[in-house]
Each structure stands twice: as structure tokens, then as C-alpha cells.
Amino acid sequence: MRKPFLQLALAKAKGLPPKAFQTTLTATSSWPFTIDRPASTNRPTRIAVLDSSFNPPTKAHYQLLKAAARVGCDAVLLLLATNNVDKGQMGASAVERLEMMEAVAMDSIRNEKEDPALRHMAVGLTIHARFMDKAQPILDYYPPNTVQLSWIMGHDTMTRLFDPKYYTDVHADMAPFFEQCDVICSSRPGYGTRDEMMQFVEASGHSSKVTLVDIPDDEVEIEVPQQHQQQQQQQQQQQQQQQQQQLLQQQEDNVDNGQNGDSAATTTTATITRGIQVKEMSSTVVRNAIKSQDWTLVDRCVLPSVRQLIEKNGLYSIES
């Protein structure tokens, strides 16, 4: 269920939405609960929360969600902290990011075949920055003791979460947070091995509340309506024609300058067609690819619905 008035409020307001937490889209009116699993204190509904800047959402984000769904989560929440968007971050506005997040959620709700939790998705907003501050308003939003929040994060974020400099006593100070929350942690390139993550978790004193997951490097596949597929194919054909024209022009320019045209073409093609692993995908990679007009790389990193919104809104081509 969509709540478009929130987008209008965000577009008009200079500040933040008044509530500490609110949803803008939910898979059902009873989300995160279902007919088969109503609100219950005997077995709380486990919500996987992916809190990110979504600038833009990538396939790596979706793979994180798939990994979380496979360790026993019942529902998924894409969460945007609006105060971070308003503090001079480059890229899309809060409304534009919400639109992309909702596109990912709608694709998943309608078309996800493998993981039921990914068909039970929602998009939400928070005004808080710290995990401990974000958690309580979400828990308060639903009947007491009926939900459990599983925060999805990378090793780098988990390191900051448990950093002793933020606490008088890490174990004691974080105990209230872990009463109704746990952490699903994935590795990130350049941030330590799985063994190092295990050692860090055990040292925190809260190892029972942390689940380590591996992010698969297979392609993210969500079946999309045929109309969207046709639109994407047309866009790809137009891009290929533009790339061919650019290559021909560059070859002519290089020949005019006394350079070898074949060499230039090979170099340019390699840039356009280079592969990238899912773990290496990031919003920064996507933004840089858009600025360099490497739409093949963009398509490798984002879902078609996100790509369409990026083009429609003219995002990331020039960042101030």
C-alpha cells in the first residue's frame, strides 16, 4: 500500500517529516504481519532492516536482502535516514531515493519467486542516525513485543556499531538494543575476512546476536513485465548505436591525430564491457558509471526499474 502524501510532504518541507519512523509503501495493509502469521508475542515477526543511503539502490542491496531472507526473516524493510540526505550528500533527493526504493520493493513484491520474505517488503523513513535510536521508534510502531528487528550491515558498519569509544561498557550499554534486535552481517571487499569478522563478533560479547552471511555472486534476477523488457531492449539498442557512433568518431579523430584507430576502439570497448562482481557493486560505482556514460555497467549494477527512474529524473549525470 502506497502513501503518496508523504512524498508530497517531503518535497515541500525544508526539514524532516514529523514522525521518528513511518512507512511510505507496504506489501499489505497489515505489514509486517500476515493472515498466516498475525501479531504475536509468542513468536515475534522477524523484520530484516536494510538501512542505507540508496543513492541509488543496487543489485548488491538486493543480494543482501536475499541473504537475510534465507536466515529466517519474515519480512523486509528498506529504511532511509532522511537527515543524512539533507546534509549535503551528492546525488538524488530524499523523494527521488524513495521513488527508487519503492520501485525495487514493487518489483520484489510482484515478481520475486524464491523468497517469501522478499514478497513481503516495505519502505520506510527515519529521522535518526544511530541504530540504537532508529530501532525504538520502529518497535514502538507495532504492538509491544510482536516484532524482532534484524539489522543488515557490512563488516565496516558492524565495526562502528561495536566500537568501544562510543560506550562506557560495550556489552552492558548494548544489552537493551539486543533485547529485540540482532545483526545480520556480510563481508565487504577490503574490510576483513570471515575469520576476522568472527573474532570481532566474539570479542563484543554479543556473538549470539550476530549472524554472518556470505553474499552470493550470482546475477540478481527478478522477472519483469514484458513491456518493461521491451523498453529496456529498445534503450539498450539505442545505447549500442550511440556507442558505435562514438567509437567511429573517436577512430576518425585518432586517425586524424596520427594515432592507431583500432587500438583506441579496443580500449574503449574494454571499458564499456568490463565485468564486476556483485560484492564490488556500490552506489558510487553506479554514479561514476553514469557520469562516464557506461550504461552497460549501470545495467549490470541496478534493476531495470531503477535504471528507468535514473534516466527519467536525469540523476547523477552532473553532481554538484
Q: At 178, which CATH number?
A: 3.40.50.620
* Shared-domain flag, residues 187 and 54: yes
With contact defined as beta carbons under 8 Å apart, do 129 and 81 qualify?
A: yes
* Shared-domain flag, residues 200 and 246: no
- In-domain check, residue 319: no
- In-domain check, residue 116: yes
Residue that terminates a domain, selected from 180, 213, 246: 213
Q: Is the model's pLDDT at 86 over the cut of 60?
A: no
pLDDT by residue (tens digit) across 223-240? 544 454 555 556 555 655
Task: Tell me what the mean pLDDT of segment 16-34 comes to.
Answer: 87
Q: For residues 77 and 22, what is the distance between their CA atoms, to the nearest angstrom?
A: 11
- In-domain check, residue 219: no
Task: Tell me what the mean pLDDT of segment 36-60 comes to.
Answer: 95
Q: For residues 296 and 264, what is the distance between their CA atoms, to the nearest angstrom?
A: 19
Listed range (120-129, 263-272, 299-308) with the worst mean pLDDT: 263-272
Domain count, the chain: 2
Q: Is the model's pLDDT at 203 over the cut of 70?
A: yes
* Shared-domain flag, residues 103 and 137: yes
- In-domain check, residue 221: no
With contact defined as beta carbons under 8 Å apart, do 272 and 296 qualify?
A: yes
* Shared-domain flag, residues 58 and 122: yes
Residue that terminates a domain, selected from 213, 241, 259: 213
* Containing structural domain, residue 81: 4-213
Span between the terminal Cα atoms of the chain, in Å: 34
Q: pLDDT-based confidence at 273, cuts 50/70/90?
A: very low
Listed range (70-79, 127-136, 263-272) with the worst mean pLDDT: 263-272
Cβ-based neighbour number of residue 269 at 10 Å: 12
With contact defined as beta carbons under 8 Å apart, do 101 and 23 qualify?
A: no
56 preceded by cis ω (within 30°)?
yes
* Shared-domain flag, residues 261 and 285: yes
Residue that terminates a domain, selected from 153, 185, 213: 213
* Shared-domain flag, residues 170 and 233: no
With contact defined as beta carbons under 8 Å apart, do 181 and 151 qualify?
A: yes
* Shared-domain flag, residues 41 and 68: yes
With contact defined as beta carbons under 8 Å apart, do 107 and 305 qualify?
A: yes
Q: Is the model's pLDDT at 101 over the cut of 90?
A: yes
What Cα–Cα distance (Å) separates residue 127 from each residue in 21, 22, 138, 203, 282?
7, 10, 11, 31, 24
Radius of gyration of the chain (CA): 22
* Shared-domain flag, residues 208 and 230: no
What Cα–Cα distance (Å) separates residue 21 from each residue in 13, 82, 136, 152, 310?
16, 10, 9, 18, 26
* Shared-domain flag, residues 268 and 303: yes
- In-domain check, residue 103: yes
Give the predicted TM-score (pTM) of the model. Answer: 0.79
The pLDDT > 70 percentage for the chain reads 70
* Shared-domain flag, residues 168 and 123: yes
Q: Is the model's pLDDT at 189 over the cut of 70?
A: no
Q: For residues 270 and 168, what is the distance between their CA atoms, to the nearest angstrom?
A: 52
* Shared-domain flag, residues 209 and 232: no
- In-domain check, residue 297: yes
- In-domain check, residue 220: no
Task: Tell me what the mean pLDDT of segment 256-277 comes to.
Answer: 40
Structure confidence at residue 1 (pLDDT): 64
Query: What length does the chain have?
Result: 320
* Shared-domain flag, residues 199 and 54: yes
